[in-house]
Amino acid sequence: MVGAALRFPVVSTGDILREAVRNKTQLGAQAQGYMESGALVPDSLVDAIVEERLRRNDCSAGFILDGYPRTILQAEFLSRAFRDEKLKTVVVGISVDDDILVQRISGRRSCPKCGKVFSAASLPSRGELTCDDCGTPLVQRKDDTAEVMKERLEVYHRQTQPLIDHYRKQGWYVSVEGNRPVEEVYGFILGIVKGHI
Ligand code: AMP
């Protein structure tokens, strides 16, 4: 992972929200319905989680945000909240055709215990689908079904895609061709981020 290679914490709003749902916290209860239907969780909830997380000490030298911001209002919140910190920012968008995305997501499984993610290509071809690190049976995310995926793609095009222009105007946006093997995409992103720090 790029974060591990650079020793930056990776702050994934999706992971934080899924953990809250698993732990049945108040945040989890508020977020669950939106997540399971493929909608975005309201900005005010997500903004508060991100701000609290990024103010912790381990983020003081840098951090990687994954899955945030996803709306123009979130992007505006982020730049307002950190306007005094003189952050060097790069926004990396991985570009993948919708049909390939649907194919990849339908084959995605993850380990509910250690969180390791498997793609269709990395799954064992026969027998039980278990995590090769800890042996736990793999599960499919509830929002990775065909119906919810369709909604998530629509939400992406309507609410998140406008961020590309928003960040292009600031000179921060780099697009990465994602229709390539994982290792190539990884190497490319690592190079981009290293070039900015
Ligand atoms: P992800 O793991 O990034 O695909 O996120 C899974 C789900 O969590 C999304 O479909 C949303 O319901 C919710 N979510 C994650 N990040 C955000 C965000 N920045 N804003 C609103 N909802 C989010």
Q: What is the pLDDT of residues 96-127, one digit of tens each?
A: 999 999 988 988 998 888 888 888 777 765 55
Rounded-to-integer distance, Cα 173 and Cα 141, Å: 29
Which carries the bigger pLDDT value, residue 87 or residue 63? 63
Rounded-to-integer distance, Cα 54 and Cα 139, Å: 30
Query: Span 1-87: which CATH code?
Result: 3.40.50.300
Instruction: Dump pLDDT digits (tens) for 127-154.
Output: 568 888 888 999 999 899 989 999 999 9
- 126 Cα: distance to centroid of ligand 1 (angstroms): 32
Q: Is the CB of 156 under 6 A from ligand 1?
A: no
Same CATH fold, 93-197 and 1-87?
yes
| Beta pairing, strands 109-110 & 117-118 | antiparallel
Q: Is the CB of 17 under 6 A from ligand 1?
A: yes
Q: Is the CB of 111 under 6 A from ligand 1?
A: no
Q: Is the CB of 77 under 6 A from ligand 1?
A: no
Phi, psi at 173, each rounded to 5°: -90, 130
Q: Is the CB of 35 under 6 A from ligand 1?
A: yes
Domain residue extents for the chain: 1-87, 93-197
Q: What's the CATH class of domain 93-197? A: alpha beta
Model confidence at 94: pLDDT above 70: yes
Q: What are the C-alpha distances in Å from 170 to residues 38, 90, 91, 101?
A: 29, 10, 10, 28
The DSSP call for residue 74 is H
pTM of the model: 0.92
Which numbered atom of ligand 1 lies nearest the CA of 67?
3
Which numbered atom of ligand 1 lies nearest the CA of 50?
19
Mean pLDDT, residues 53-82: 95
Q: What is the pLDDT of residue 157?
A: 96
Q: What is the pLDDT of residue 125?
A: 57
